């Protein structure tokens, strides 16, 4: 994992102060890339809170749609304060420490996505993500301030990076993952998997692939298995 390859993404941030503080904490831990999706802020006010991290704020990439993030990243990690369960797969999440360990050997470009201060990320936006992260907090008030949440996760990633574990493999690219997911969909269609269960099965598989950060070789091998399955079924 290279900090240079991690993009901090704020979806429709609503408070200028939070965005300034996020830029500041990014500089504290060595992160450079900030992407803002439809920001609702005053940049002059945000720059006051950014202090010496103004360059991060001024160089932020502005996008009008979250899906355009695919032009910048290979993996996308969503954040939520709402814990999932077996019947709410979109919000089944890992902790920041688990995330840091999972991506320690990854060199691809990663989007770390944070939602609005008021409502967080919507379900459709969580579907865009490969894995979901949540910060354990008291049930009395589990929702953290945006800049505090960013600080906690970046701190864990910073510590992980500085453990200096060597890279062991080439992780699968975004295109390889998308192709793998496409094959999985084709298999579901080929076996006449019940239509009302297809989306659930697809989300489960996507999250498994996201959490494991499979290598390019592993993705290629799985695609080969799916091709064999489809070929056998066609006969």
Distance between start and end Cα atoms, the chain: 44
> Which domains are present in the chain?
3-161 (3.40.1280.10), 174-234 (no CATH)
pLDDT at 88 > cutoff 50: no
Per residue in 216-225, pLDDT (tens digit) is: 888 899 999 9
pLDDT at 55 > cutoff 80: yes
- Which 3 state secondary structure label does DSSP give 120? strand
Between residues 91 and 201, which one has the greater pLDDT? 201
- Residue whose C-alpha is closest to residue 74's, from 214, 222, 187: 214
Distance CA 75, CA 111 (A): 6
pLDDT class for 146, splitting at 50, 70, 90? very high
Helices (H), ranges, 59-173: 96-102, 123-127, 146-161
pLDDT class for 87, splitting at 50, 70, 90? very low
Give Cα separations from 1 to 74, 98, 116 (angstroms): 13, 14, 27
Average pLDDT over every residue of 173-195: 91
Give the per-residue pLDDT at 105. 77
Burial of 19 (0-12, 13-18, 19+ CB in 10 A): buried
Give Cα separations from 204 to 67, 91, 195 (angstroms): 20, 11, 15
Per residue in 200-234, pLDDT (tens digit) is: 899 989 888 888 778 888 889 999 999 999 999 88
pLDDT at 83 > cutoff 70: no
């Amino acid at each position: 994992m290279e900090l240079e390859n991690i993009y901090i993404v704020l979806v429709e941030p609503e408070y200028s102060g939070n965005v300034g503080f996020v830029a500041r904490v990014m500089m504290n831990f060595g992160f450079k890339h900030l992407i803002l999706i439809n920001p609702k802020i005053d940049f002059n006010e945000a720059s006051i809170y950014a202090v010496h991290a103004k360059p991060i704020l001024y160089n932020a990439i502005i996008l009008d749609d979250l899906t355009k993030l695919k032009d910048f990243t290979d993996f996308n990690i969503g954040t939520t304060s709402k814990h999932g369960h077996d019947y709410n797969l979109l919000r089944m999440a890992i902790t920041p420490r688990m995330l840091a360990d999972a991506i320690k050997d990854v060199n691809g470009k990663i989007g770390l996505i944070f939602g609005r201060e008021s409502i967080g990320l919507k379900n459709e936006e969580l579907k865009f993500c490969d894995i979901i992260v949540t910060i354990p907090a008291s049930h009395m008030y589990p929702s953290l301030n945006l800049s505090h949440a960013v600080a906690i996760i970046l701190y864990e990633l910073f510590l992980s990076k500085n453990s200096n574990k060597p890279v062991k493999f080439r992780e699968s690219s975004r295109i390889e993952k998308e192709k793998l997911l496409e094959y999985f969909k084709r298999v579901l269609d080929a076996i006449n998997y019940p239509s009302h269960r297809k989306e659930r099965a697809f989300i489960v598989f996507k999250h498994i692939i996201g959490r494991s950060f499979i290598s390019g070789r592993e993705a290629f091998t799985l695609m080969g298995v799916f091709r064999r399955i489809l070929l056998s079924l066609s006969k």
